[in-house]
Amino acid sequence: MNIDDLLKSTKPILYETGVEEWPYAFSGTCYPVKFNNALFIVSAFHCYSNSNIEPENTLYPRPDDPTGFFAFDTKVRAQAQQSKDDEHHDQVILRVARSHHPDTETDKVVALDLVDSATSRLPTSKDIKDFKVRGYPFACPKYEVNYQLNKISYQAYTTNGALSVNQSPFDFCYLIRMITPIPDGMSPNGMSGSPIYGITQSQDAVYCGTIIKHSKYTDEYLVIGPEVLVNALKG
């Protein structure tokens, strides 16, 4: 699967506020995955809880009509019961409603099918030579909801070039340091919920986890490992 096409499927979390004066707002990043012929949208739970919104209010654009959005029928919090801490318990999974969206529509969304074990790797895998990340920092200059012009615009930040990857002190989480995790002078706020994709030695793109934090002291991203999402999708 082409990594550039895969990265384009990562979107900002756009949602309806329910407030007439400012009906739309942004809150982090989300991305699609597939499992057993179903399409799911995944993000960090705190992107919603910090803004007092429900995850199912996410407006993820439909592939044939970017002014329309997917409906969801299931919401799940991914969690590893055997973990000794809750740091990894910051991931939410939304299933796209097949009653509203047929396979002919959801198949057009470029996403890794995680039912195939070859599509995911632990970030510490020796087979991974680099990582690619795409997210939506709030500080990007084209990122705004302009109510006067009735225009919603956003701008992604994409980076690669890994300096280090290590197991974190938290269960099922990893620390990844990139050469330029975020542009100089820009806050990483908005990158939460972004997927981490690994590039293998054979040039394949694989899923490696979800960003939930950035440390200003070590300049590392804290990432929930892929096994948490995959096991949640298995049920």
pLDDT in tens, 77-101: 999 989 999 999 999 999 999 999 9
In a domain, 234, yes or no: no
pLDDT score of 148 = 79
Other CB atoms within 10 Å distance of the CB of residue 142: 8
In a domain, 177, yes or no: yes
Host domain of residue 126: 3-228
Per the structure, the count of domains in the chain is 1
Q: What percent of the chain has pLDDT over 70?
A: 100
CATH of the domain at 142: 2.40.10.120
In a domain, 233, yes or no: no
In a domain, 235, yes or no: no
In a domain, 23, yes or no: yes
In a domain, 94, yes or no: yes
Give residue-wise pLDDT tens across range 40-63. Answer: 999 999 999 999 999 999 999 999
In a domain, 24, yes or no: yes
Residue 73 has pLDDT above 90, yes or no: yes
In a domain, 163, yes or no: yes
